[in-house]
């Protein structure tokens, strides 16, 4: 009965359009009243959820991503990507994929990647006669590299919940990100000739490529500094996020000089609002998940699944499908904080590697950003391209299929997640 009230209350709140964070908190409070426990427990659990040094990495990475966009770092990354692959048929599609991959190594956010790269690249693609529907579709899918290629906010959240190595999660994200980038590129190679995409009049010379590399040097150094600091053991993920903020500030304000001092407060306020939303969801979701465990529902779930005698691979496949379904309706952070405390204990009892399960959680949440109704990547792409979400969804189909093929390959083969760990 406790579980019914908990989930029933949460479902009702969602149906009447209560924000996810509030719905989780209210459902928890109502259930606590039912079992005659002080509602103040909600506040205690919220405080406990945020009282973590790992959690502090989230607002730092959000601020760093906004500083990069405003400071001209992302534009130079696009120019560099164009210098590498811009001269072949459908070259701007490859530029989009590489730009999203590079920017993903800076921002850690899917919508931020879509908006930053789309705002710079999409108008130029339309101007050169590229198919608008396909261009917007690739933007929505390639933007999904943001939370996969480290640093990744969703991996920080998962690592905090499971007390796993965020550095090892980032290593798994590198392999997954490269695999997805390669698959998207192969799909573009196939479609470029089939759909006769435009071809650049002339390729980029070696001199032009070297100039683009020189101009993007400070931008490219950022992921090297951040990830190098983590993997070398010099910096924790939270410290590396703080370094990213300082570096982005220095480069944007004093080196590229595209971020006026007077705009800093606006960037900080915008980042604060975005961070607060994510942290509020984490806080209330933690209280919700704690009550789920406290009421014994989690243990019942473990016993039920264990009695089915599933293999680790079969369970991972089932967990992946559950995560995908929840991703259709819930924001990625909420899905992670809500389901990981429920699904991970079972996976652990079956001997599933914590890094492998983290990749399943992270990539499934990204797929949710591309699938309606809660498809933040489609919303972001729509705001940039001014196209209807339905048209963008049609354009993304071949890329979406490729993204999912990589996902299920990673689900079934743990080695891809742990190869660098």
Instruction: Give how far the C-alpha of residue 300 lies from the chain's centroid of Cα atoms, to the nearest Å.
Output: 31
Q: Answer whether residue 203 shows pLDDT above 70.
A: no
pLDDT of residue 212: 79
The pLDDT assigned to 353 comes to 95
Whether 35 shows a pLDDT value over 90: the answer reads: no
Residue 22, pLDDT above cutoff 60: yes
Q: Given this model, what pLDDT does residue 168 score?
A: 92
Q: Are 58 and 36 a contacting pair, CB within 8 Å? A: no
Q: Is the pLDDT of residue 288 over 80?
A: no
Mapped to the 3 state alphabet, what secondary structure does 13-30 carry? HHHCCCCHHHHHHHHHHH
Question: Alpha-carbon distance 104 to 98, whole Å?
Answer: 10
What confidence category does residue 412 fall into, taking pLDDT thresholds of 50, 70 and 90? very high
> Helix (H, G, I), strand (E, B), or coil: what is residue 165?
coil
pLDDT of residue 341: 82
Q: Report the pLDDT value the prediction gives residue 290, as an integer from 0 to 100.
A: 74
Handedness of CA 366, 368, 371, 374 (dihedral sign): negative
For CA atoms 124, 121, 384, 198, give the dihedral sign. Answer: positive
Sequential DSSP letters for 177-200: HHHHHHHHHHHHHHHHHHTT--B-
The pLDDT, as a whole number, for residue 343 is 87
365, pLDDT greater than 90:
no
Per-residue pLDDT at 329: 67
pLDDT at 187: 95
> What is the Cα–Cα distance from 49 to 34, expressed in whole angstroms?
23
pLDDT given for residue 180 in this prediction: 95
Model confidence pLDDT, tens digit, residues 306-362: 677 788 999 999 999 988 887 776 767 777 877 888 889 889 988 999 999 999 999
Average pLDDT over residues 167-194: 92
- Residue 137, pLDDT score: 93
The string of DSSP codes covering 145-158 is GTTTSSS-HHHHHH
Using one digit for the tens of pLDDT, what is the confidence trace for 268-287?
998 888 778 777 777 777 77
Q: Report in angstroms the alpha-carbon separations of 285 from 53, 105, 125, 397.
A: 18, 27, 41, 32
Query: CA distances (Å), 126 to each of 118, 133, 187, 217, 351, in order?
Result: 11, 10, 20, 28, 50
Band of residue 23 on the pLDDT scale cut at 50, 70, 90: confident
Report the candidate in 79, 191, 68, 69 with the shortest Cα–Cα distance to residue 124.
79
Can you tell me whether residue 90 is helix, strand or coil? coil
Band (pLDDT 50/70/90 cuts) for residue 107 is low
Among 104-118, 145-159, 262-276, 407-421, the minimum mean pLDDT is found in 104-118
The dihedrals phi and psi of 89, each to the nearest 5 degrees, come to -60, 130
Mean of pLDDT values over 4-14: 80
- Kindly indicate the confidence band of residue 416, based on its pLDDT and cuts at 50, 70 and 90: very high
Is pLDDT at 62 greater than 90 in this prediction? Answer: no
Task: State the pLDDT confidence band at 302, using cuts at 50, 70 and 90.
Answer: low
pLDDT interval class at 399 (50, 70, 90): very high
In this structure, what token pair is assigned to residue 175? 């392999």
Q: Record the pTM.
A: 0.76
pLDDT at 184 over 80: yes
Comparison of pLDDT for 145 and 233, the residue scoring more: 145
Say how far apart CA 255 and CA 247 lie, in whole Å: 10
pLDDT at 326: 79
Q: Before 75, cis peptide (omega within 30)?
A: no
- Looking at residues 196-216, what average pLDDT do you find? 74
The pLDDT of 289-316, averaged and rounded, is: 74
Concatenated DSSP letters of 218-251: HHHHHHHHHHHHHHTTSS-HHHHHHHHHHHHHHI
């Amino acid at each position: 009965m406790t579980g019914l009230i908990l989930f029933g209350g949460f479902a009702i709140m969602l149906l009447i359009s209560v924000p996810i964070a509030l719905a989780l908190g209210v459902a928890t409070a109502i259930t606590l009243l039912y079992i005659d426990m002080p509602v103040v427990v909600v506040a205690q659990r919220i405080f406990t959820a945020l009282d973590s040094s790992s959690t502090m990495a989230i607002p730092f990475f959000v601020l760093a991503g906004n500083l990069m966009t405003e400071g001209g770092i992302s534009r130079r990354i696009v120019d560099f990507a164009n210098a590498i692959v811009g001269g072949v048929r459908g070259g701007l599609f490859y530029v989009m994929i590489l730009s999203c991959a590079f920017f993903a190594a800076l921002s850690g956010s899917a919508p931020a990647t879509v908006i930053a790269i789309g705002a710079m690249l999409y108008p130029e693609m339309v101007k050169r006669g590229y198919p608008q529907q396909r261009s917007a579709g690739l933007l929505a899918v390639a933007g999904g590299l943001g939370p996969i290629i480290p640093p990744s906010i969703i991996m920080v959240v998962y690592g905090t919940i499971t007390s796993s190595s965020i550095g090892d999660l980032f290593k798994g994200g590198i392999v997954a990100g490269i695999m997805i980038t390669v698959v998207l590129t192969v799909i573009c190679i196939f479609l470029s000739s089939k759909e006769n995409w435009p071809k650049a009049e002339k390729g980029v010379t070696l001199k032009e490529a070297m100039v683009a590399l020189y101009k993007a040097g400070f931008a490219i150094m950022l992921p090297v500094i951040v990830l190098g600091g983590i993997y070398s053991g010099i910096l924790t993920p939270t410290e590396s996020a703080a370094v990213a903020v300082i570096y982005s500030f220095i480069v944007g304000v004093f080196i590229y000089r595209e971020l006026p001092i007077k705009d800093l407060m606006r960037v900080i306020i915008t980042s604060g609002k975005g961070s607060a939303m994510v942290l509020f969801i984490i806080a209330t979701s933690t209280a919700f998940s704690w009550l789920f465990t406290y009421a014994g529902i989690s243990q019942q779930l473990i016993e039920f699944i264990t009695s089915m005698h599933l293999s680790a691979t079969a369970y991972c496949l089932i967990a992946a499908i559950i995560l995908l379904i929840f991703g259709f309706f819930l924001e990625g952070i909420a899905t992670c904080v809500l389901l990981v405390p429920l699904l991970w204990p079972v996976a652990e009892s079956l001997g599933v590697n914590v890094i492998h399960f983290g990749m399943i959680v992270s990539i499934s949440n990204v797929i949710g950003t591309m699938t309606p109704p809660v498809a933040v990547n489609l919303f972001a792409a729509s705001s940039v391209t001014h196209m209807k979400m339905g048209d963008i969804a049609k354009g993304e189909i071949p890329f979406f299929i490729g993204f999912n093929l990589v996902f299920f390959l990673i689900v079934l083969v743990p080695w891809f997640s742990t190869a660098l760990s």
